Amino acid sequence: HREPGDWPCQQCNEINFKSRTACRRCSTPRNQTTSSNPTATAATSTTPQTISKPSDWACQFCKVNNFAARTACFQCNRQKQDSTSSTTPSSSTTTKQGDWKCPSCSDMNFGSRIVCRACGTARPSAESNNNTNECVICMEKPIDSVITKCGHSAVCLECGTLIAQCPICRNTFTQQEIIKLYNVH
């Protein structure tokens, strides 16, 4: 969760704690990333941040800045698009079926997530149902829990309490990091 004073790096768009003097991802000093509007953040902006070098590029999909050497966006992993192309990329090259864009920060999320990985905003309810809604472990009970550490929702609470690793991303979690969801049907 973002706290007042946290700041976005204009070089790589990483959100940093207010106590940091340099970006944790790319080491760009904070004073080089401060904008004229200190309350403006990458999470609330709908336009790309300033690109620091002419050869760097902004992802056409999620608007994150990328170093020139990258062929895919570091945040959403979409391929760099040719700026001279007049066509829009096909959905097969930009997202997978079920992936969703956070309405709060515009971060792209895997379809299995029910909360945004960047800001924690809940997935819009119209998009929150997956195709099967079956626990991926027992394949019988409905998915009724979420692993708060990673945001994935793929298991019933009963199966979730028997495992220590997310079946989607393989991140480990504690029993305090899995919660029951209500009104999921």
What is the domain-level CATH number for residue 108?
Answer: 3.30.40.10
Last residue of a domain, one of 19, 52, 83: 83
Residue-wise pLDDT for 79-123, tens only, equals: 887 654 333 333 334 577 778 888 888 888 888 787 888 888 878
AA letter at 182: Y
Same domain, 162 and 122: yes
Token pair of 80, please? 């760099």
Burial class (CB in 10 A: 0-12, 13-18, 19+), 59: buried
How many domains, the chain?
2
Q: What pTM value is reported for the model?
A: 0.33
Q: Is residue 88 part of a domain?
A: no
Of the candidates 28, 50, 83, which is a domain's last residue?
83
Q: Report whether 109 contacts 100 (CB < 8 A).
A: yes
Q: What does the block give as tokens for 70?
A: 């990258």
Q: What residue numbers bound the domain in which 170 lies? A: 95-185
* Residues in the chain, pLDDT under 70: 1, 32-52, 82-94, 125-132, 184-185
Spatial distance between the Cα atoms of 155 and 175, rounded to a whole number of angstroms: 13
- Alpha carbon distance 165, 171 (integer Å): 5
